[in-house]
Amino acid sequence: MKPGRLVKRLKPLLRILILLALWEFLGDLHLIAQGALPSPSAIVMQWWQDRAVYPPHIWATLEPALIGFVIGDAIAAAAAFAFVLLPTFEGLMRGFNIAVFGIPPIALAPVLVITLPGDWPQIVLAAVSVYFPTMVMTLLGLRDIDPRPIDVICSYGGGEVAVLRWLRLRSCLPGFLSGLRVAAPAAILGAILAEFGSGARWGLGSFLLGSLGRGNPARIWGIGLSATLMAAFAYGLCALLGRRFSASMTAVTIASGTIETKTAKRGAARLLQVSLAIAALGMPFLIWWAILKGFGVSPVIAKTPLGVWNYLINAPDAAESRGAILQALKESLPLAGVGLIIALSVALVLAVMGMIWRNLTALLMPAALILQTMPLVALTPMIVLLFGRGIAATLVVTVIVTFFPAFITIAQGLATVPRASLDLLDVYGASRLQKLRMVSLPMSLPYLCAAARLVAPASLLGVMIAEWLATGYGLGNLLNTARGELDYGMIWAVAFVAVAVSVGFYQLVKVIEEGVLRRFGSASATS
Amino acid sequence: MDGSPPKLLTDDIDLNGITRTFAVAAKQVYALNDVSLHCEAGSFTALIGPSGCGKSTLLRIIAGLERPDAGTALIGGQTPAQKCRTGALGVAFQDSALLPWRTVRQNIALPLQILKRFTPQGHDKIDRLIELVGLEGFENARPAQLSGGMRQRVAIARTLVTDPSVLLMDEPFGALDQILRRSMNIELQRIWMEKRATTLLVTHGIDEALFLADRVVVMHRDPGRIAQIVAIPFARPRLPELFSSPQFHQLEDEIAAHFYGAATA
């Protein structure tokens, strides 16, 4: 090995060592937030002291996370294929998809804990957490295919099934795998969140909740870092698989784009469209009702859609409940909106900077990963110490929760730009910035929009986590209080309102996205 | 080569009153207006004309990839949709349209897999085709590792793998340099004389059309229509020397007159 290469290899290691040294210095001298940031050595020492209890805690979280991950991804992949083959089915399940996506895991956790036995709350929450990212990324991969080989397949009489089998199946792999990449940490997070309020003895979430009040930051950080390592390992495994398969994926030449013209539907077709939309709206409620009936859960604990309606409209103290929820919404919603905008801007800027300075991505990825899993629960107390129990703390938590999936999606869009179009700009000596502005950014616009949609509901999750654990305002606090008081009606009502608000948020972003893409498409067609 | 030559199954192509319109910015544009053409079984026809004369659209209609607004296209008396399910069509596109994750061998096998006709004997056949297009040693290369000319040869081998009775080629050598194009022309003639499939070649090159075809169909645009059909009398096999013979140049000028007549009209 040449000495130059050795230096190059050691450089990142050196960087990490410098960061660690700085951290050690800050931690040992209690410089940050009166010792809420312990030094690495203190964390490691505490971790070593606790070494006997870690394996059962980790296993209690990992096992259900893994089962949920497998179940959720299998359902997600099957659903994506069904949606490609049967667009009507996708239309019908639209409402369900968005509702599953919009569920803030923290709102669902208490509902699952009171209705399901054993490990099932964790498994289900992990599965629910992975379903949407995997489904969406797989669907994107299945749909976003090179149109030229379709002609080849059609000229041998191949239909939709043949295109699916020979083209889409392989084309969707990078999308599917990057979906798994986002889903893997989400599964672990889902399993941890389901331990909140479950009273379970084992599991990292239970361990963390039990340690929160003990004034031992080193242990809290140790638990957080363990969760992070688990997520990082899961992420790395999926990323490795992804690299193996996307190397041979980029088309050698570029396909000319086609602009699909949407024809306005009239008469019977229009009627069908409207009735489909209504059916799609009713579907989540039907499934909600069917699951509760199917499992035969007591109606006192498990509220059906009708039960929630009664609680909010017909019950004697309905007006009081509505007032409490409205007040909580007023506190939570503005923060979620602002957090979303900040997170998207940060993700875009960092993804773009990562394109221009490659080293930055290498430096950022581990940091982004650490931010993704660990802080949610472990960093919240720390953030509160740093930023107070107010708006700033909530915003920081929200940005941290939403940033990571947005960053991954945008970076993937920037990476899938065909080689030929970048080569074209190289011919004219274009700078990296020009290539970015003229090719990479416009071509990855669909990914950017997908990122916005993907993280819109997550911003509400961030707000609710901060409220539950720290600030004592808003929806998160209302849910936590209701859980403490065993107010089953309120638990279900808040969960329902949180999902409804998330779905509304999602739809709003979708409308904006459609406008942006249409304008972009028509602009490129007329110029 | 084994003792039994591939069965010489050929079909004629019959186009009758083909009309195809597109809506461009709220205006109806006639890509093809009442085009009729008959290609004898086993013949080689070249279609040339300026951009936008509808020659590629005509080829896509015969391949069953697009439907005409009026008129019929029949291959051996059957519709393109019926015919393509038998593997009777081999289509080569402007772009090689190879799947980036498949090797050369796997790309050539694709049509057989789509038609559910892939058998162990298929491997021998694919090896023979790789030999035919001169890609020995690249069997397991992926498209990204090949040059443009090599990718196009893979695409040609792919069109031949089903023993098609009709070959449709849409500027298959359009992206290649002149020297490579010449040698591909000579190879295509050799392949065609061996297979004798009814062939329709869309091209921009008059010399390419003259060298390969029995007759050259010159098309004009606005609306897309057939302007002239010129029979090419040269005997086969045609040798590279033909490109520089006086008769060749004379015919080239004649076709160019029809061609440019269209461009200036």
**ipTM of this complex:** 0.74
pLDDT at residue A67, as a whole number: 96
CB of A148 less than 8 A from some CB of B: yes
Best probe of the A interface among B24, B101, B159, by most A CBs < 10 A, is B101
Q: State chain B's mean pLDDT as an integer.
A: 86
Taking only the tens place, the pLDDT of each residue in B17-40 is 999 988 776 678 888 999 999 999
CB of B58 less than 8 A from some CB of A: no
Confidence at A92, pLDDT banded by 50, 70, 90: confident
- What number of CA atoms fall less than 13 Å from residue A398's CA on the CB side? 28
- Give the 3-state secondary structure percentages of chain B, helix then strand then coil, rounded to 5: 40, 25, 35
Contact between chains at A156 and B100 (C-beta distance less than 8 A):
no
CB of B105 less than 8 A from some CB of A: no
A256: chain B residues, CB-CB within 8 Å = none
A160 vs chain B: nearest CA distance in angstroms?
A: 11
Domain ranges of chain A: 33-247+275-284, 307-527
* Rounded Cα–Cα distance for residues B35 and A320 (Å): 77
Higher pLDDT, B41 or A388: B41
Higher pLDDT, A241 or A518: A241
Percent of chain B residues past pLDDT 70, beyond the cut: 94
Q: Which amino acid is at A255?
A: A
Please state, as a whole number, how many other Cβ atoms lie within 10 Å of the Cβ of residue A145.
18
B114 vs chain A: nearest CA distance in angstroms?
A: 6
Edge to edge, the sheet with strand B27-39 lists B27-39, B13-24, B70-75
Spatial contact of A164 and A85, defined as CB atoms under 8 Å apart: yes
B87: chain A residues, CB-CB within 8 Å = 156-157
Confidence at B217, pLDDT banded by 50, 70, 90: very high
CB of B85 less than 8 A from some CB of A: yes
pLDDT at position A107 over 80: yes
Q: Which amino acid is at A450?
A: A
pLDDT at position A73 over 90: yes
What is the pairing mode between strands B89-92 and B13-24? unpaired
Taking only the tens place, the pLDDT of each residue in A344-379 is 888 888 887 777 776 666 666 666 666 665 546 666
CB of B186 less than 8 A from some CB of A: no
Partnered with residue B21 across adjacent β-strands are: B30
Helix, strand or coil, per DSSP, at residue A253: coil
Fold classification of A307-527 (topology level): MetI-like fold (1.10.3720)
pLDDT at residue A124, as a whole number: 93
Confidence at B212, pLDDT banded by 50, 70, 90: very high
For B97, the closest of A149, A156, A162 (CB atoms) is A149
For A156, the closest of B84, B98, B142 (CB atoms) is B84
Contact between chains at A166 and B84 (C-beta distance less than 8 A):
no
Name the token pair of A515. 């406008």
C-alpha angle A455-A461-A462 in degrees, rounded to nearest 5: 90
Taking only the tens place, the pLDDT of each residue in A149-173 is 888 888 888 888 888 888 888 888 8
* Rounded Cα–Cα distance for residues A238 and A183 (Å): 9
pLDDT at residue A261, as a whole number: 40
The pTM of the full predicted model, rounded to 2 decimals, is: 0.74
Spatial contact of A138 and B47, defined as CB atoms under 8 Å apart: no
Q: Which amino acid is at A422?
A: L
For A152, the closest of B86, B97, B101 (CB atoms) is B97
Confidence at A228, pLDDT banded by 50, 70, 90: confident
C-alpha closest to that of B76 among B198, B200, B202, B215: B198
- DSSP string covering B60-96: HHHTTSS--SEEEEEETTB-HHHHHTTT-EEEE-SS-
pLDDT at residue A247, as a whole number: 56
Least confidently predicted of A56-60, A412-416, B193-197 = A412-416
Q: What are phi and psi of A292, to 5 degrees?
A: -65, -45
B81: chain A residues, CB-CB within 8 Å = 157
pLDDT at position B243 over 70: yes
Confidence at A294, pLDDT banded by 50, 70, 90: confident
CB of B76 less than 8 A from some CB of A: no
Contact between chains at A148 and B86 (C-beta distance less than 8 A):
no
* Rounded Cα–Cα distance for residues A222 and B181 (Å): 67
CB of B26 less than 8 A from some CB of A: no
Contact between chains at A156 and B115 (C-beta distance less than 8 A):
yes
Q: What are phi and psi of A130, to 5 degrees?
A: -90, -20
**Which ranges of chain B does DSSP label H, i.e. alpha helix?**
55-62, 80-84, 104-114, 121-132, 148-160, 178-195, 206-212, 246-264
CB of A258 less than 8 A from some CB of B: no
Spatial contact of A110 and A479, defined as CB atoms under 8 Å apart: yes
Q: Which CATH number is associated with domain A33-247+275-284?
A: 1.10.3720.10
Helix, strand or coil, per DSSP, at residue A470: helix
For B84, the closest of A148, A155, A253 (CB atoms) is A155
Show the domains of chain B with their CATH numbers: 9-86+216-265 (3.40.50)
Query: Same topology for domains A33-247+275-284 and A307-527, yes or no?
Result: yes
Taking only the tens place, the pLDDT of each residue in A469-511 is 778 888 888 888 888 888 888 888 988 898 888 888 888 888 8
Cα A170 to chain centroid distance, Å, stands at: 24
Q: What is the DSSP letter of A494?
A: H
Best probe of the B interface among A152, A163, A522, A527, by most B CBs < 10 A, is A152
Taking only the tens place, the pLDDT of each residue in B115-138 is 888 888 888 989 988 988 888 999
pLDDT at residue B127, as a whole number: 92
Q: State chain A's mean pLDDT as an integer.
A: 80
Contact between chains at B64 and A250 (C-beta distance less than 8 A):
no
For A156, the closest of B111, B143, B151 (CB atoms) is B111
Q: What are phi and psi of A335, to 5 degrees?
A: -65, -40
Helix, strand or coil, per DSSP, at residue B26: coil
Best probe of the B interface among A154, A156, A177, by most B CBs < 10 A, is A156
pLDDT at residue A372, as a whole number: 60
pLDDT at position B246 over 50: yes
pLDDT at residue A128, as a whole number: 92
* Rounded Cα–Cα distance for residues A368 and A403 (Å): 8
* Rounded Cα–Cα distance for residues A382 and A393 (Å): 9
Question: Average pLDDT for residues A65-92, to the nearest whole number?
Answer: 92
For B64, the closest of A155, A167, A250 (CB atoms) is A155
Contact between chains at B95 and A148 (C-beta distance less than 8 A):
yes
pLDDT at residue B4, as a whole number: 45
C-alpha closest to that of B216 among B203, B246, B165, B30: B203
pLDDT at residue A525, as a whole number: 27
Spatial contact of A226 and A204, defined as CB atoms under 8 Å apart: yes
C-alpha angle A344-A393-A478 in degrees, rounded to nearest 5: 100
What is the pairing mode between strands B89-92 and B166-170? parallel
pLDDT at residue A378, as a whole number: 60
A156: chain B residues, CB-CB within 8 Å = 84-85, 87, 89, 111, 114-115, 162
pLDDT at position B57 over 70: yes
* Rounded Cα–Cα distance for residues B199 and B102 (Å): 27
pLDDT at residue B214, as a whole number: 92
